[in-house]
A and B are shown apart, each in its own frame.
Chain A
Amino acid sequence: MKFGKRLKQQIEESLPAWRDKFLSYKELKKLVRQISSAESCVEYGKADAEAEFVHLLNNEIDKFNVFFMEQEEDFIIRHKELQQRIKRVIETWGPNGTKPSEAEYKDEMAKIRKDIVNFHGEMVLLVNYSNINYTGLAKILKKYDKRTGGLLRLPFIQKVLQQPFFITDLVSKLVKECENTIDEVFPVEQEDEEEIVKEQREAITIAGKGIFRNTVAALLSMQEIRRGSSTYGHFSLPPMDLPDSDLIHSFQLNSPIPIV
């Protein structure tokens, strides 16, 4: 049940548009329980039950694929647009631009920085989405095999590994490119005291807050999920190495759900 709870937490913390795109872990677990208890039922033989189960899993996979690829497409577009935007700002208001203006430049750059960081965050969350759904699938399959004595897990998971939603290479690449861009765009150390104070007073529309929360939740969830469990085995992931874990824990603010 631990994973189910973790998943639910993450879903709740996630961006609203994403919430119904996650794995229906609970429902599938129920189905597995049903199948294993109804094994003796003649009418719904084992092959049929397995077929139904596989069918549902495939529906889920399809859901992931569609969502993932849609998001990915958006990211590709936005990534390019960000690059263009940066170029435009530099060329217009930069020191060597057509109408150099330090104020404008700083202003625009600040906006860009915020947008890049949020963009980066969203992409990472998509990778997380992919991963958590994969983990859920792997767990459900393991449960199924355990309960019904089936041999579904191994071949099915091989298939899952080939699915578009699991192949996150492109998004990861975009993430890295974003990180490079950020290094260029972030001022090395230009913030002087008064500026910091001024910025504090401005409405810190940290639109990224939602993303930030989600990210923190995701990280901590991951850590929790991978803590050694009773069913730890050869196919389980080892405990996570998360430096600054305490700091990250402290980011959980006013969370209604005790994350323990």
Chain B
Amino acid sequence: MEARPALSIQRSGASQLSSLGVSGGLSSSLSIPSTHLEGTYQKLPDIQQVPSERELTTRPQAHATRVPTNNGVVGHIFSSSSGFSSDLHYSSVLPNEKHSRNSPFISQSLADTASLPLSQSSSSLLPQPTIPSCCNKENSGSWCTDPDFLDFPVSTPVQSGQVENIQRSEDFSKQNDWQEWADQLITCDDALTSNWNELLVDNVTNLEPKMACQVAKPCTTMPAQNQQLPSPSVESLRVVNPSSSANNAPAKPRMRWTPELHEAFVEAVNQLGGSERATPKGVLKLMKVDGLTIYHVKSHLQKYRTARYRPESSEGSSEKKLTSMEEISSLDLKTGMGITEALRLQMEVQKRLHEQLEIQRNLQLRIEEQGRYLQMMFEKQKSGLDKLKVSSSNPENPAATSDATKEAPTKSELESSQRDHLDSGTGTVNNAKSMLERSSREMGGEDMATEAGDLEKTKARVSETSPEQAAKRSRIEE
């Protein structure tokens, strides 16, 4: 079958884009995914030019009305694969053998962002020939989508708006376009790879990891991560979120609920006469939230009912089973205190843990931020060095060259260290950091040095107080 190579490429490509709402269709027919791919691929360049998340998230709203009609069409495709798509979420026991074949693309893309040459990502597409064998061996269809379903959304920040476009462009007859796309993929179109690269680099803030409504999530962490997107849009985005899940939702979508959504849910349920009488369909209709599927509502309703009618057991259910033995030992500690006191104590410990977790998390975020920043500086330095080489060979500006020669030693130092250590991961950053600090100071760029110093100060402060505090008497003990 001469169609085989094309098929495999298409499947690998399709699986990579499966998170965009096509996951269900792969096992059933070729024509469907092909058009999805075609639609997606065409849209990619468009997305490039829409970097701002606000614009993107308005897309779902704009296309919201399309969703219901598409769902009907898409639904039947997905239902046939509902069996396997459930595996996507809940099985960690996936057929292991050849999953990795598809991920070279993804991991190479990841490597791209770490500033490896673009050509590498192109060449990664070529090793695909191994995939046909995999594809044919395991025809269940599930393996194809699984790894990339997981990989893709996580590694490539596909916009929810993009998903919308795919849904819209469902046109089951454009097979020739698919061929073109496949050809382009095979020939490693540079535009494509640069598109991917851009997507990965520019749109880190807009990752849509799962089908979960994640558009708002990066937004909420914006302030913490110094992203440049506005936070006032968070609330509205949260509600808009559900719209994205519908478009890429197979039978078992993963949706992230929020308190606001839940309130709307409760209101709808109450309007329908309570949790026992309300039906998922009715609630769905009343809520009028774009992108919410009946499946979401059904499972949520189930949880809601459980929580209402067995409030104590549902809350304490897991622990109650294991504590009968421990109760006895606990009495040793808690005798001498009333229940309330015991609860207070427990509360204090819990609060303490939470405090520490928050501190730790912030530190972790800052550390990685630093790392990213330094990486960026690396690349800037590198390109700066190249420019410097060019300019120093044309001494038009005497002042500039004298400065350049002064700093050249430092920069060449840096470059050589880069070459030597580029492969040693974290170690590089440590060395480079001190070098960068020196060179940036010389150049008068104090910012980076202070940034680095800042983090160290924070770390020092945290560890300093520890020995003193350990000796302090507990305020709980009265």
Chain B 263-295 against A: per-residue CB contact (8 Å), 1 yes, 0 no?
100100000000000000000000000000000
Give the contacting residue for A124; candidates B209, B342, B353; CB below 8 A. Answer: B353
Which residues of B have CB within 8 Å of A169? 220-221
Which stretch of B3-11, B68-76, B253-261, B401-409 is in the interface?
Answer: B253-261
A216-238 interface code vs B (CB 8 A; 1 in, 0 out): 10110010001000000111011
Q: Are B323 and A54 in contact (CB under 8 A)?
A: no
B 185-214 to A, binary, CB cutoff 8 A, 1 in contact else 0: 000000000000000000011010110101
Which of A1-9, A56-64, A97-105 is the contact stretch? A56-64
What is the minimal beta-carbon distance from A77 to any residue of chain B, in angstroms? 5
Any chain B CB within 8 A of the CB of A37?
A: no
Q: Check B322 for interface membership: any CB of A closer than 8 A.
A: yes
Which residues of A have CB within 8 Å of B371?
154, 157, 235
Could you tell me the distance between the alpha carbons of A213 and B353 in the complex, rounded to whole angstroms? 12
B89 and A191 within 8 A (CB): no
A131-B333 contact given A50-B107, A124-B353, A164-B217, CB 8 Å threshold: no
B186 → A minimal CB distance (Å)? 18
Chain A residues whose C-beta falls within 8 Å of the C-beta of B364 in the assembled complex = 134-135, 138, 237
The distance in angstroms between the C-alpha atoms of A146 and B138, with both chains bound, is 35
Judged by a CB distance under 8 angstroms, whether B176 is at the interface is no
> Once the chains bind, are B327 and A206 in contact (CB under 8 Å)?
yes
Do A248 and B225 form a contact, CB below 8 Å, given A119-B315, A242-B466? no
Q: Which residues of B contact A50 (CB under 8 A)?
A: 107
Chain B residues with CB under 8 Å of A205's CB are 320, 323, 327
Q: A65-B210, A151-B423 are in contact. Are A207 and B311 (CB under 8 A)?
A: no
- Chain B 317-347 interface 0/1 with A at a Cβ cutoff of 8 Å (1 = within): 0111111001101111111111111111011
A196 CB contacts on chain B under 8 angstroms = 337-338, 341
0 or 1 for each of A153-181: is its CB under 8 Å from B? (1 = yes): 11111110111100111101011000100
Within the complex, the shortest CB–CB distance from A61 to chain B, in Å, comes to 6
Q: In the complex, which residues 33-73 of chain A have their Cβ closer than 8 Å to any Cβ of chain B?
A: 47-52, 54-55, 58-63, 65-66, 69, 72-73
Residues of B within 8 A of A167 (CB): 217, 220-221
Q: Are B350 and A159 within 8 A (Cβ)?
A: no
Q: Does residue B400 face the partner (Cβ distance < 8 Å to A)?
A: no
Q: Is A62's CB under 8 angstroms from B221's CB?
A: no
Those of A233-260 within 8 Å (CB) of chain B: 233-235, 237-248, 251, 253-254
Contact A113 B333 (CB under 8 A): no
* Docked CA distance A48–B98 (Å): 10
Q: B466 and A210: CB pair below 8 A?
A: no
Q: Are A78 and B307 in contact (CB under 8 A)?
A: yes
Contact residues on A (Cβ < 8 Å of other chain), bracket: 35 or more
Say how far B404's CB is from chain A's closest CB, in angstroms: 30
Please, which residues of chain A bring their CB within 8 A of the CB of B315? 78, 115, 118-119, 122
With A and B bound together, what is the CA distance between A36 and B41 in angstroms? 37
B357 touches A124 (CB 8 A): yes
B257's contact among A72, A124, A157, A211, by CB below 8 Å, is which? A72
Query: Is the CB of B424 closer than 8 A to any CB of chain A?
Result: yes
Does A241 contact B465, Cβ atoms closer than 8 Å?
A: yes
List residues of chain A with CB within 8 A of the CB of B256: 69, 72-73, 164
A163 touches B347 (CB 8 A): no
Contact check, A237 vs B363: say whether CB atoms are below 8 A apart: yes
| Chain B residues closer than 8 Å to A128, beta-carbon distance | 353, 357
Which of B26-34, B53-61, B150-158 lies at the binding interface? B150-158
Contact among B209, B225, B266, B474 with A163 in the assembled complex (CB-CB below 8 Å): B209
Minimum CB–CB distance from A47 to chain B (whole Å) comes to: 5
In the complex the two chains form, is B221's CB within 8 Å of A235's CB? no
Task: Check if A77 sits within 8 Å of B426, measured CB to CB.
Answer: no
Interfacial chain A residues near B321, Cβ < 8 Å: 16
Q: Which of B101, B204, B205, B466 has the most CB of A within 10 A?
A: B466
Flag whether A142 is at the interface (Cβ < 8 A).
yes
Taken together as a complex, chains A and B put the C-alpha atoms of A77 and B311 apart, in Å, by 11
Residues of B within 8 A of A238 (CB): 363, 458-460, 462-463
Q: Looking across the interface, which residue of chain A has its beta carbon closest to that of B225?
A: A161
CB-CB under 8 A for A54 and B106, given A114-B343, A158-B368, A162-B207 = yes
Q: Which of B350-378 contact A (CB under 8 A)?
A: 350-354, 356-361, 363-365, 367-368, 370-372, 375
Give complex CA distance A216, B333 in Å.
Answer: 14
Is A184 positioned at the interface, with any CB of B under 8 Å from its CB? no
User: Of all chain B residues, which has the CB nearest A245?
Assistant: B470
- Contact A81/B154 with A117-B346, A200-B335 known, Cβ cut-off 8 Å: no
Across the interface, B262 reaches (CB within 8 A) one of A77, A158, A175, A234, namely A77
B44 contacts chain A at the CB level, 8 A cutoff: no
Minimum C-beta distance from A126 to chain B (A): 10
A209 interface neighbour in B259, B326, B352, B423, Cβ under 8 Å: B326
What residues of chain A lie closer than 8 Å to B104, measured between beta carbons?
47-48, 51
Min CB distance B206 to A, Å, is 9
Tell me whether A204 and B323 are in contact (CB under 8 A): no
Decide: B100 and A52 in contact? CB cutoff 8 A: yes
Q: Is A182 an interface residue (CB 8 A)?
A: yes
A118 vs B333: C-alpha distance when bound (angstroms)? 18
Tell me the B380-439 residues at the A interface (CB within 8 Å).
422-426, 429-430, 433
Quick check: B356 and A219 within 8 Å, CB to CB? yes
B462 to A157, Cβ gap below 8 A? Answer: no
- Do the beta carbons of B339 and A146 come within 8 Å of each other? no
Asked whether A179 and B360 contact (CB < 8 A) given A191-B340, A234-B433, the answer is no
Which residues of chain B are near A150, meaning CB under 8 Å? 423, 425
A242–B352 touching, CB < 8 Å: yes
B375 close to A234 (CB less than 8 A)? no
Complex Cα spacing A55 to B98, Å: 11
B residues with a Cβ closer than 8 A to A are 89-90, 92, 94, 99-104, 106-108, 110-111, 113-114, 116, 124, 127, 147, 150-151, 154-155, 204-205, 207, 209-210, 212, 214, 217-218, 220-221, 225, 254-259, 262-263, 266, 300, 303-304, 307-308, 311-312, 314-316, 318-323, 326-327, 329-344, 346-347, 349-354, 356-361, 363-365, 367-368, 370-372, 375, 422-426, 429-430, 433, 458-460, 462-463, 465-466, 469-470, 472, 474-477
Interface positions of A (Cβ within 8 A of B): 15-17, 47-52, 54-55, 58-63, 65-66, 69, 72-74, 76-81, 85, 110-111, 113-115, 117-122, 124, 127-128, 131, 134-135, 138, 142, 145-146, 149-159, 161-164, 167-170, 172, 174-175, 179, 182, 186-187, 191, 195-196, 199-200, 202-213, 215-216, 218-219, 222, 226, 233-235, 237-248, 251, 253-254
